[in-house]
Structure 1
């Protein structure tokens, strides 16, 4: 790699780091979800460290984060010769798989049928909270949720009504797309538009950049529901941000775990 490429890589990392304070355990979850989500996939401790430390994260912080993820049932670790390897647990793989469609959908299909769930003030909130655990629901307020598709059975404690004509007031746009989410999306798009990956990046450097891009996009994609355009506030940059994320991921194709190990061995 030449000097200009190295400087460009470091500048891109610095710009992405400036977006927010990185939680190391969350970075590791994003990394495994992108690079090692399948059964049998494992990443050595050395590889993990080489991918993450360019983000300004120290090896000690990585070890602490791995300990937390093992305790929480996300990650398992084992010895392979003299080295440690890490891999997602079955629960970790299932949780990663559950959110993968939201994160990696290039052109998400907007549902055409909608319904409302309304809980009685002061009661039946448990039923509403249970419904909100399902991916098709977005909370409108303490007593109301908006869902797409057909309402599931077993919601007898809630008022359920189908919606055929959606009219969206400004206050609902702002509730579903709060100001901090809108600003985070705009900021990410600004940074992504300044990144131009060099063609001679190493597999490890590609993994570092991919992890940061996926991590920042994941935090946005999992916070906003897939809704018709009429729900979007005027300053929502979600569609443009999504398009730019995938332009960059296409320029940074996912390195294989074998390629990462080989890069470290050479």
Structure 2
């Protein structure tokens, strides 16, 4: 029978994306999943215990924390020999803004859409500002697609309500390029591998549970936020987004959500 420790190690190997080991981004995923609430803190020791099994050295964690403090994402305090880290107000706001997309269990199935069309010049600049929102997809130099009713904008943008869209192949490829399709496929296979090898009974430590949650959430976050939230018909036929989403949340549901206090309690 597969031991708990060997299953954990195999699951970590399966879920780790060695091509995307930006430690600061992993830490952002960690705080977004485990310590997003005001006042929630993760100790330096707990942070190391969660991240070290990913093959990341403590020195790399310290460098990443320094960068996140410099960028205004994280603050750190020290009580005696123990350091504690927590999201700033800015960090919490940034995490909260993308949380609905990351943890949504279904895709967007809206049937009502609108186009925003800009003229060159001021209109293009305004459209660029609109596209900073993840609710819109650029489908041309001067055109953006969004769901629901058109927003109340000034006369620089033409809004056109549309329904029953047909997405041609060129649009599907633009919205979900080949490398993104491959990333979904790779994550699906990784989750399937981790799920199949799991023993019937398991008893992971809080830190081990957090490690697997962060690996899973991080990889999912990195791909789901790269594309607009559109119905399946907008994406290529070989896109496995719905299957990947289901597999991610099926595994995530088996991993408890350890509180920061529980993770810190073994100091």
Q: What TM bracket, shorter-length normalisation? A: over 0.9
Name 1:65's counterpart in structure 2: 64
Taking structure 1 as reference, are residues 115 and 19 closer, same or farther at Cα in structure 2, changes over 3 Å only?
Answer: farther
TM-score of the aligned structures, taking structure 2 as reference length: 0.93
| Residue number in structure 1 paired with 2:99 | 100
Other-structure match for 1:217:
220
Corresponding position of 2:257? 254
Deviations 1:56-112 (A, max 9, x none): 111111001001001111000011232110000011001101100000011244222
Aligned counterpart, 1:208:
211
Structure with greater contact order relative to length (CA < 8 Å, sep ≥ 6): 2
Question: Unaligned regions of 5+ residues in structure 1, if any?
Answer: none
Stretch deviating more after TM superposition (63-72 or 145-154): 145-154
Give the aligned partner of residue 9 of structure 1: 8
Q: Which whole-Å CA distance do the structure 1 matches of 2:50 and 2:44 have between them?
A: 10
Which stretch of structure 1 is more off in the superposition, 73-82 or 181-190? 73-82
User: Over aligned residue pairs, what C-alpha RMSD do you find?
Assistant: 1.7
The secondary structure found in structure 2 opposite 1:128 is helix
Does the aligned pair in 1 maintain the 2:15–2:194 contact within 8 Å? no
TM-score normalized by the length of structure 1: 0.94
Contact map agreement 2:108 2:231 (CA 8 A) in 1: no
- Per-residue deviation, residues 22-48 of structure 1 (Å, max 9, x unmatched): 100000000000000000100000100
Matched position secondary structure for 2:30: helix
CA contact (8 A) 1:127 1:155 kept: no
Match of 1:227 in 2: 230
Alignment: residue pair count:
263
Shift of 1:6: 1.2
CA–CA separation in structure 1 for the residues paired with 2:163 and 2:107: 21
Structure 2: gaps (5+ residues): none
**Structure 1 equivalent of residue 123 of structure 2:** 124
Matches of residues 36-75 of structure 1 in structure 2 within 5 Å? 36-75=35-74
* 1:3 Cα offset (Å): 7.5
Contact 2:107 2:230 in 1 (8 A): no
Give the superposition deviation at 1:147: 0.7
